[in-house]
Amino acid sequence: MTPSPASQPEPLKTPSSIARSAEIICVGTELLLGDILNSNAQFLAQALAALGIAHYYQTVVGDNPTRIQQVVTLATERSGSDSKLLLFTGGLGPTPDDLTIETLAALFGAPLVEHPDLLADIEAKFTARGRTMPLSNRKQALLPEGALVLPNPQGTAPGIIWSPRPNLTLMTFPGVPREMQAMWRETAVPYLRDRGWVTTTIVSRMLRFWGISESALAEQVAPYLSQGNPTVAPYASKGEAKLRISAMADSTAAALAQIEPIEAGIRALMQDDCYGTDDDTLASVVGRLLLQRQQTVAVAESCTGGGLGQLLTDIAGSSAYFHGGVIAYANRVKVNLLKVDAAALEAQGAVSAIVAEQMALGVKALLHTDWALSITGIAGPGGGSPDKPVGLVYIGLATPSGEVVSYRHEFSGYRGRDWVRQLSALSALDALRRNLL
């Protein structure tokens, strides 16, 4: 979508010899209070990286005109003579605390001008919903003199594309992520490409690992971490280790060509510890492997309370390989439904290798699957002992051949009940993945 002229000359094209950088400014007191997760900043940061536009600063500021002006002034001072792109989210609504547009207009000394076409568009959107436009929404048709309209196809709050001074471009977006993302893709990106902001492309690929810590991973791939382009950087999140490979090139294809040998080298080094890339999850990878083998799985869960089954069924099409599960919290359910041996249960306790193995065999026979997983453990915060501390978990795995194995985990550094349950479910999926491989 092309930005609409609003009585202004075209913004100056940036000479290729001038350095360019972008800054993200998110407006909203609710962001400062932590009431809303700032997903807009994450989206725009990733989008700028994908376009190869340098991005060094992000700011969150409340709905206060003085502080908004201070933030913008500081951002423009940082740019010096370079070409600066300031991306704003939030503060475009009809309420008195939505101040982004009028604050920018006041800062740069531009009068606000009402645009009849914008007003008609806003009114039409209310009419299409069977509602009458409140008078407060009229302010959304007021834009700084000389600004281009950044159309909002999904909401009533238009943005602006405005160059109030040479080598400075402002873009404003509403705080609603769905609206902001559509405006970015449909108008902002084509605009930036047309004006020479996009000269290189940065492509990233995330390699995902399970069963190895971030520090151990970093040690093993150390030679890759010191190179320039592509760059390799380690991350960790919720028991998972990651490596992000990023390449800068003239095109996506050229960047991918740089990434591929690095990825191949790391995969060869780390082998089965690398379970996938980008949007892969352990559950989606396990699902693909089961589909390839035309095999099925069932689960028996104690401490995870259905969390393992949820991970499997979060994947669309999982009914092709996931038959179901049993949540067996009470010992009598383990004995009566899963046929766990009562004597073994009494002697070894519910959290033991023998019980995990018998739970897996029991649910496999009950639901007639090729594979079965079981989990029994102590999720805390109470219930632990010196012999069986909080965080101790046993995972059982029954195979198509009728064999059964168990895996013992001690998730130390207790971070809460949900943490133990999540690591248990993901570790069970990883055990199945490695056996499927």
Cα–Cα distance list, 123 to 90, 111, 120, 250 (Å) = 21, 23, 5, 44
Work out the average pLDDT over 57-63: 96
Distance of CA 232 to the CA centre of its chain: 19
Work out the average pLDDT over 351-379: 98
Would you mind telling me the total number of residues written for the chain in this entry? 437
pTM score:
0.75
Instruction: Residue 370: name the closest of 400, 398, 397 by CA.
Output: 400
Q: How confident is the model at residue 4 (pLDDT cuts 50, 70, 90)?
A: low
Question: What's the CATH code, domain 20-194?
Answer: 3.40.980.10
Question: Quick check: helix, strand or coil at residue 352?
Answer: coil
**Gap between the Cα atoms of 282 and 198, Å rounded:** 35
Q: Which of 78-82, 214-218, 234-238 has the lowest mean pLDDT?
A: 78-82
Every domain of the chain and the residues it spans: 20-194, 201-277, 282-436
What is the average pLDDT value for the chain, to the nearest integer?
92
CATH T-level fold of 282-436? Maf protein (3.90.950)
Query: Please, what is the angle between helix 100-107 and helix 65-79, to 10°?
Result: 60
Distance of CA 52 to the CA centre of its chain: 20
Q: Decide if pLDDT at 11 tops 70.
A: no
**Gap between the Cα atoms of 117 and 149, Å rounded:** 11
Tell me the one-letter amino acid at 296: T
Instruction: Residue 276: name the closest of 231, 336, 211, 201 by CA.
Output: 211
Instruction: Residue 338: name the closest of 372, 370, 309, 306 by CA.
Output: 372
| Biggest distance spanned by C-alpha atoms of the chain | 86
CATH T-level fold of 201-277? Alpha-Beta Plaits (3.30.70)
**Gap between the Cα atoms of 53 and 203, Å rounded:** 12
**What residues contact residue 180 under an 8 Å CB cut-off, 6+ apart?**
40, 43, 89, 173, 174
